[in-house]
Amino acid sequence: MSEPIAVPQPDQSRFDFALRLADNCLVLGQRLAEWCGRGPELEEDMALTNIALDLIGQAQLWFEYASELDAQQRSADALAFFRDQNEFRNVLLVEQPNHDFGYTITRQFYFDSFHYLLLNELVASTDQRVRGISEMAFKEVAYHLRHSTAWVCRLGDGTAESHRRIQQAISDLWCYTGELFAPDTVDAEMFRDRVAPDLSRLQIIWLHQVNSIFKQATLQLPESIWMQTGGKQGAHGESMGYLVGEMQFLRRIYPDAQW
């Protein structure tokens, strides 16, 4: 006889951890989807849309795992489409508006650099489900990072105008990067149980790699040390409300619809 499959039990910290991973992917995927039909060139329009689809696919896997751990027994769809703004646990970086292509690429590069390092550690997680999802997502995120890195270099070492605009985006979005590595009780518990890595160690590697790319692109690493936080605890900006409203509109209008 085969061994029975272990069914996850409600676990608040592990649920919160999975939910954060899901929300990061879903919200950033939604932001990138706003570029569909508006890209600076056809190939890039398709690339941004495909990255959005990758992230939303990853979000679905994380939501499914979170659903299994949820004490309220909500489905993956319910977690995605029937929570209010203050119930989302994504970092503030991923919800920032697109503004222009330079902002979008900078936001993507900051997150991709972090996401790649995180998944590289999560593939060795003691949690089998976290490990499995991370192994699948890692290959996609490796491409995401190559894509955003190439554009940072192209814009930074391009025309005077492209250099100025992406440098402005780098400076403006810098204050949201600290939250990626700001641990709280959930992060501490996941590290203790060897589910997730030490964020402070990742930050050192991240800073080195980001600075290395900026040097190649003739860009400057911001000097500011003041950072925005609160997204992981549900404190979001005004733009997040519009994003959630647009994302959830159809599902809430037709809650019982079958597609």
Residue-wise pLDDT for 156-173, tens only, equals 999 999 999 999 999 999
Kind plus residue range of the DSSP H or E element containing 8: none
Q: What is the mean pLDDT of residues 59-67?
A: 97
The pLDDT, as a whole number, for residue 9 is: 57
Count of domains observed in the chain: 1
Compute the mean pLDDT over every residue in the chain, rounded to the nearest whole number.
92
Residue 5 resides in a domain = no
- Looking up residue 116, the CATH number of its domain turns out to be 1.20.1260.10
Residue 99 resides in a domain = yes
User: Are 230 and 92 a contacting pair, CB within 8 Å?
Assistant: yes
Does residue 256 register a pLDDT over 80?
no
Q: Classify the phi-psi angles of 258: left when phi > 0, otherwise alpha if psi is within -120 to 50, otherwise beta.
A: beta
Residue 181 resides in a domain = yes
Residue 212 resides in a domain = yes
The pLDDT, as a whole number, for residue 3 is: 47
Q: What's the pTM? A: 0.93
Which residues neighbour 7 within 8 Å (Cβ) at sequence distance 6 or greater? 68
The pLDDT, as a whole number, for residue 253 is: 86
Alpha carbon distance 221, 38 (integer Å): 29
DSSP per position, 97-121: ---SHHHHHHHHHHHHHHHHHHHHH
Alpha carbon distance 24, 193 (integer Å): 22
User: Are 86 and 236 a contacting pair, CB within 8 Å?
Assistant: yes
Alpha carbon distance 240, 95 (integer Å): 6
Residues spanned by the domain of 19: 12-223+235-253
Residue-wise pLDDT for 8-44, tens only, equals 555 899 999 999 999 999 999 999 999 888 777 778 8
Q: Is 194 helix (H, G, I), strand (E, B) or coil?
A: coil
The pLDDT, as a whole number, for residue 259 is: 63
Does residue 2 register a pLDDT over 70?
no
The pLDDT, as a whole number, for residue 1 is: 44
Residue 2 resides in a domain = no
Question: Distances in Å between the alpha carbon of 156 and those of 2, 128, 151, 245?
Answer: 57, 40, 8, 34
Which residues neighbour 155 within 8 Å (Cβ) at sequence distance 6 or greater? 102, 105, 162, 163, 165, 166, 217
User: Are 76 and 169 a contacting pair, CB within 8 Å?
Assistant: no
Residue-wise pLDDT for 194-245, tens only, equals 999 999 999 999 999 999 999 999 999 998 889 999 999 999 999 999 999 9
| Residue closest to 229 by CA, chosen among 181, 170, 197 | 181
Residue 75 resides in a domain = yes
Q: What is the mean pLDDT of residues 129-133?
A: 97
Residue 1 resides in a domain = no
Alpha carbon distance 21, 9 (integer Å): 19
Residue 204 resides in a domain = yes
